Amino acid sequence: MERLILGIFILFFGCFNLSADLKSYAEQSVAKAIAEPARFFSELRYDSEVIFPVNSGKKYTFNMNFLPSLIPFTYLNSSFNYCLYKEGKLHTSLPQIDIAGGFGYMIGADILANASDDVDSAKIYGYHIGLIFSDSFASKTRIYYGFKHSYTSAKLDLSPSKNHTLLGVNVNSFETQFSENYLIFGVEFLKDLNKYWSINLSYGLSNQSIVYGVGWYGKWFMMGFNFYPEGVIQIHPYWGMRLGF
C-alpha cells in the first residue's frame, strides 16, 4: 500500500526538481495518505467533481478533469451536470435546479499494484451525486448552493506470498471507504462572453472538513484551484474540459 501511494506521489512530484521544503511536504503528504488511503484517493478525485451551475443558455454540461485527476493520478473520470429547471421559468422565486453526477476509476492503481510486492490487486474508484441550486443575484452574478454526496472505495488484496498479521490474525485484503456529504455555497460571475469565474466553499458534514475553490471556466475548458486545509495535498491546481450544450 505504501509503495502504491509512493508511486502515485513520484508520478506527481517526480517531474519536478524538488526543493528540500517541497520534498518534506511531499513526504508528509505520503504519511497522511498511508494513514488514511481512502480519504487520500477521495481528495484526488474531488477535483473532477464539478459543482458549477449549468450556464445560462445551456441545458447540460459534460466535464472531464485532465489535471490532476487523469494526469498524473490516472483517474478515468467524467461528470455530468444537467439542468432540471431553469430559474424563473414557473416562478421568479424558484432557482435553477441542476443535478450533478460523475465517477472516477483509477487505472494506475492496477498498474502500481502489479509493481508492488505487498499488494496483489488494487481497485480504487468513486462517484458523486448532488443537487445544485442557483439564483441570479444580478444579471452577471449568480449565487449557488446545494448538496453533494461523494464516495470513494479503496480495496486492496494483499499478496498471499507475504505474511501480514495483526494480533495473530492473517490479513489478506483490506477494504476502506470514504464518504462525505457536502453542503456547497458559491458565487459565479460572468466576466466576459462565455467566461466565468467562481468561488465556492464546501463543508463536509460527516468529517467536518472544508474545501474551498476558485475556478475559471469558458466555452471549452475550466481551470482553478481547490484548497484542502486539512487535506493530504493542500492545494490542487486543476485543468479540465467543460462543455455546455
Partner 1 sequence: MGRKIYLIFFIIFFIRNFAFSDVLVSDYAGEVWVRKSPLGTWEELKDKNIKLEDGFAIKTGKGKVKLAIDKSSVWLKENTAFEIESASKFLNAFGLVYGKIKASIKGISPRSRFSIKTITAVCGIRGTDIMMESDVDGKMSVDVLFGEVEFTYLIPPKEGERNFIIPQGVSLKIDDVEKPYNISLITQEKEIEILSNWDPNVKEEERMESLIEKEKDKISLKKFIAYSNNMGMEINNFVYKEKEADFEAGRTLKDINGNTVRIDQRLIRNDLNTIQLFNIIKRKDYKSYDYLTDYSKNVSGFKYNGGSLKDRVDIFAITFNFNKEVPKNIGEWQSFFDRKDVHPEWATFVSANLIDLNNVFFIGEAYKYIENRGELINNTEVVGVTQNTNERDNDVILAGKISKNYLNDIVMYNFSEKNTNNPTGELVRKSDPNVDISGSFWGLKVSKDEISDKDLFYQLNRTKYLKGANETQEEYFYLCQENYLISNDGSIRKKNDIFSSGKSVSDIIKENAIQSVNYIKKNENGPSNEDYIGAYNTDIIFIGDVPFSIFENTSRGVDRWKD
State the residues that interact with partner 1 by CB under 8 A: 20-21, 24, 27-28, 30-32, 34-39, 55-58, 86-92, 136-141, 143, 153, 166-171, 173-178, 187, 190, 192-193, 199, 201, 207, 210, 212, 227, 229-230
- Shortest Cβ 195–partner 1 spacing (Å): 9
Q: Which residue's CB is nearer to partner 1, number 70 or number 124?
A: 124
- Report how far apart the first and last C-alpha atoms of the chain are (Å, whole number): 41
- Shortest Cβ 103–partner 1 spacing (Å): 18
Q: Which residue's CB is nearer to partner 1, number 14 or number 229?
A: 229
- Asked if 24 contacts 32 with a C-beta cutoff of 8 angstroms, the reply is no
Q: Which residue's CB is nearer to partner 1, number 38 or number 113?
A: 38
- Shortest Cβ 99–partner 1 spacing (Å): 17
DSSP 8-state code for residue 70 = T
From CA 93, how far away is CA 133, in angstroms rounded?
12
Place of cell 521544503: 21
> Which residues share a beta bridge with 240?
65, 222
From CA 70, how far away is CA 239, in angstroms rounded?
10
Q: Which residue's CB is nearer to partner 1, number 16 or number 137?
A: 137
> Which residues share a beta bridge with 134?
96, 144
SS3 42: helix
- Shortest Cβ 211–partner 1 spacing (Å): 10
Q: Which residue's CB is nearer to partner 1, number 25 or number 147?
A: 25
From CA 132, how far away is CA 80, in angstroms rounded?
12
Listed residue (87, 82, 189) closest to 130, CA to CA: 82
- Shortest Cβ 208–partner 1 spacing (Å): 9
